[in-house]
A and B are shown apart, each in its own frame.
Chain A
């Protein structure tokens, strides 16, 4: 399109300068706090301190665990929902997709507060459980990992469904019938045909859901509270209460690393399956 690279670079320059000035530089300054010795020099002692504390270990593992569980659950539910939506008539498809996206347009605060009503001691879930005789006394669901899991799943499931819808739409229409004709059962169809062909969508959706779950603040703050700390709520505590910007910077860095790692890992898994197939 352009005569030479210089022209293209010149056009990219304003955006690059803007991003560097207002994003990259502040982030580097913020993160460098975690490696700096107050008297000068560099150290990783803030990180070893962080991970030697048993509360921090527990919070780190809980964040990782919940992020992974939410990602897996949203992939399972997401595939089912995306299949159903893709198989609809075009008109209905648009409407249902709109419904899936709708929750994204409602404030997360309002959505999360609704969960307090639903999951509470006198909420719909407990009333139903008691009416059906599943439990005698109301269950304690609020302020637990279960509540955070439910809140995060509802928050991020639409992102997974949308990614998978576009992936499934790009899949050749004849792929599934062809596999069936050749004798594959439904599990094989999914595992050997659909999954490899939609892995891009899964990687994008998975990264969005996982990083979203790691960095969500409102949902764990309201549904978990300080009783069930996640890295993000711990970060808030360090900044707003303890004024410990070093620990906060350490947590921020860990969150960034976890997000990148998740993306790289998911991509690896996808390409590894590709290689397997081409070797076979």
Chain B
């Protein structure tokens, strides 16, 4: 081997060594996120894997429902495991009150300006950024009934064909809130609407806990109508019945999921980079096209077929009557108590 050749080998192996060291250092950077256990295969393909390539870091994903995940964050408060989490608006306020999260430095989010206004700072405390929202209204058999108001569901001729969301579901309180508006008795304790539902509890077919159950009930003609989130709408359109999405005069309600950054996280910048990636037009478009999350980024352009299955557009975003997080948080226990007294027994 000539000296030149040897030099080349040494250089090459040195370069290879440096590459491995570089990779190893990057591998040491780990971002731990806590998310809902939904559509994880798609998230991995659309969000997690591409992000790992961009940041040269490792993503650890923890899943579970929001109650479990919040309890875990609380338990690890002194020594946070999770760097960022996606939770509901109201849970974000709960986490903020419990001192579990920090303000989100939106100046580091290059895509922040592209968000609908309603998603920019849902709780008006700078602690969270919305990444998806959904409308909640009434899916109903348009050949059997006519729904112009949330109160129509309790009409004597309709009530025995209705499934109402249990107060413990995500759709429960918003539906009651809208019923309260319809009854012109919209107090934060939801007393009037809960009583109104309680008065019809014998007629109402069931108080559902899983929206997946509703498709079967609708198919068997066990029910004609139910308040649902827009994200469960698609299967109803395929049942072969004339099923419509109501536009009640009181409006539609809904919910929003947000991203939060854990207080005391050692990977704050990486967490912000990840949030920025998630709300980018590219990622939000792909998630929307797979019907996973309605986009909170207003630059996302969708075909009518896709948009019809999601909560889409500036007008829709503006029209949603969401329960303020503080109201939800301060009243949740009371709602369940009143519900159990008036409806549960």
Instruction: Give A residues with C-beta under 8 Å from B.
Output: 54-55, 58, 113, 116-117, 120-123, 140, 142-143, 221-222, 225-227, 229, 237, 239-243
Contacts and interface: CB of A to CB of B under 8 A. Distances in A.
Size class of the contact patch on chain B: 20 to 34
A221 B345 contact: no
Interface string B214-232: 0011001110000000000
A220 B341 CA distance: 20
B4 interface: no
Given A142-B206, A242-B333, 17 more contacts: A54-B345, A55-B341, A55-B344, A120-B220, A120-B222, A121-B221, A121-B222, A122-B222, A142-B205, A222-B213, A225-B208, A226-B209, A227-B201, A227-B206, A227-B207, A229-B344, A240-B67
B221 A113 contact: no
Contact of B216 (A58, A116, A143, A225): A116
Interface of B: 65, 67-68, 70-71, 166, 168, 201, 204-209, 213, 216-217, 220-222, 333, 336, 340-341, 344-345
B216 A221 contact: no
A239 to B, nearest CB: 8
Given A117-B220, A120-B220, A142-B222, A243 B71 contact: yes
Contacts of A122: 220-222
B340 A55 contact: yes
20 contacts: A55-B340, A55-B341, A55-B345, A58-B345, A120-B220, A120-B222, A121-B220, A121-B222, A122-B222, A142-B206, A143-B205, A143-B206, A222-B213, A226-B166, A226-B168, A227-B201, A227-B206, A240-B65, A240-B67, A241-B67
A225 B221 contact: no
A121 B216 CA distance: 12
Nearest to A222: B213
A120 B201 CA distance: 18
Nearest to A58: B345
A242 B208 CA distance: 17
A225 B207 contact: yes
A116 B220 CA distance: 9
B222 A241 contact: no
B227 to A, nearest CB: 15
Contacts of A116: 216-217, 220, 222
A132 B186 CA distance: 48
B220 A123 contact: yes
A142 B208 CA distance: 13
Contacts of B67: 239-241, 243
Contacts of B166: 225-226
Q: Give 6 closest A-B pairs by Cβ, nearest first.
A: A241-B168, A143-B206, A226-B166, A55-B340, A226-B207, A120-B220
B98 to A, nearest CB: 12
Nearest to B344: A55
Contacts of A140: 205
